[in-house]
Amino acid sequence: MGLWIAAVVALQVLIGGGIAWAINSRSKSTADPGAAATPAASAPASASAAPPAGADIAGPLDLLLIGVDTRVSVPGWEPHADTVMLLHVTEDLKSAYLYSLPRDLRVKMPAFPKAGFGGGTFKLTEAMSRGSRASGSAEPSAALGYELLAKTLTAYTGIKEFQAGAILNFGGLAELTDQLGGIDLVIDRKVTSRHRKPDGSLRPLARGGGDYTGPQAVYLPGKRHLVGWQAIDYARQRYGLPDGDYDRTRHQRQLVKALLAKALDQGLSNDPAKLEGIIKALSETLVYVGGRRPVEYAYALRDLTPAKVTLVNLPGSGVGRGGGYRGEQLTKESRDFLKAVARNQAAQYLASHPKLVDKS
């Protein structure tokens, strides 16, 4: 299936309902999506047949996965980046590092004339909404929001180019997980759901507003088999966890690996027709626009197994002024990891900073 596809699908846990977009980009422009990967010098060739689609994709790759708080039932609702997940694939395309940035990370955003935005320091989640305000249009543009977010991340991380990006919601995750027969996940701590009852039905809001009411689904530590709605629900929770959103994003990265493992067990990486069928079934929630097709990434990343994907925790802390919360900031160790990724030296950095590796 390829980690890119598994990651895209897994990130659908982040938000509810609506449509998803995938946008291939080149550095500071989205003008040439078809050039999203550099041809490899040693791409397979044959006198009798063309190389498989995706054989020319070369590493290293930096892929950007955005879960957007898109409330399609509300006219004019501006998207917010509820979760920002990044995947760094090594030059040989055989190993990768998956990490997240806090949605409330305080970052400097560049000016973005397309949306009439003059720049400034805000929470990372706001880049999507501020960038989505297309001039002359009453409806927000997720594509423009993505563009400002990518520019902001380039400035913050030092990563010069994201070869591909995806903006998506979780509408198709339950269906996909159930098509795969559910997933096996090692739950590291007790998680209590705010949103679901033990039977999977939604918990109602208290009369007059406020929090949800009624019995709650509970996910206990240990190896568990999760069906679709459980996978969505578990990976969405952050309230009641010791590290809040940091715990939630860690669980989402674990879910990405679990989905990849199940897809590989079923041989999807060697069955393009079946993979295309699954993507087609998710067409209302997973739509690719231009650039390389999912099956091309599946081929290029065919040797990228779950065992070769390192999950990285980037610790941080809250910042404020006068007792008021203003957002999050990463530790120096976390910021230096981003610099190492930009230099394609993630492995060397983690070797000397092993506490950043998530071994749960």
Backbone angles phi, psi at 18, to 5 degrees: 95, -155
For the residues 202-208, what does the mean pLDDT come to? 88
- What's the confidence (pLDDT) of residue 277? 66
221 is a domain residue: no
- Considering the chain, what percentage of its residues have pLDDT values greater than 90? 42
CA distances 338 to 142, 151, 205, 246, 358, Å, are 26, 15, 40, 17, 16
- Where residue 7 falls among pLDDT bands split at 50, 70, 90? low
- What's the confidence (pLDDT) of residue 357? 97
238 is a domain residue: no
Among 51-65, 72-86, 212-226, 345-359, name the one with the lowest average pLDDT.
72-86
Note whether 154 and 160 are within 8 A (CB). Answer: yes
Q: Is the pLDDT of residue 78 over 80?
A: yes
Q: Is the pLDDT of residue 11 over 90?
A: no
- What's the confidence (pLDDT) of residue 31? 36
Cα distance between residue 114 and residue 320, in whole Å: 31
Among 68-82, 152-166, 275-289, name the one with the lowest average pLDDT.
275-289
Paired tokens of 207:
């009369």
Paired tokens of 113:
């004339």
39 is a domain residue: yes
Altogether, the residues listed in the chain come to a count of 360
210 is a domain residue: no
Of the two residues 8 and 86, the one the predictor is more confident about is: 86
52 is a domain residue: yes
For the residues 165-169, what does the mean pLDDT come to? 72
Q: Is the pLDDT of residue 185 over 60?
A: yes
CATH number at residue 251: 3.30.420.590
Q: How many domains does the chain have?
A: 1
- Sequence letter at residue 317: S
Q: What is the pLDDT of residues 238-284, one digit of tens each?
A: 889 999 888 988 888 888 778 777 877 777 666 667 666 666 655 55
Q: What is the pLDDT of residues 29-51, one digit of tens each?
A: 333 333 333 334 444 544 557 88
Query: Is beta strand 61-68 parallel, antiparallel or unpaired with respect to 21-23?
Result: unpaired
Cα distance between residue 286 and residue 173, in whole Å: 10
- What's the confidence (pLDDT) of residue 187? 94
222 is a domain residue: no
184 is a domain residue: no
Mind giving me the DSSP string for 94-152?
A: S-EEEEEE-TTBEEEE--BGGGTB--EEEETTHHHHHHT--TT-SS--HHHHHHHHHHH
Q: Is the pLDDT of residue 26 over 80?
A: no
149 is a domain residue: yes
- What's the confidence (pLDDT) of residue 15? 36
Q: Which of 216, 243, 263, 186 lies closest to 10, judged by CA?
A: 263
For the residues 224-233, what does the mean pLDDT come to? 92
Range of the domain at 82: 3-174+245-356
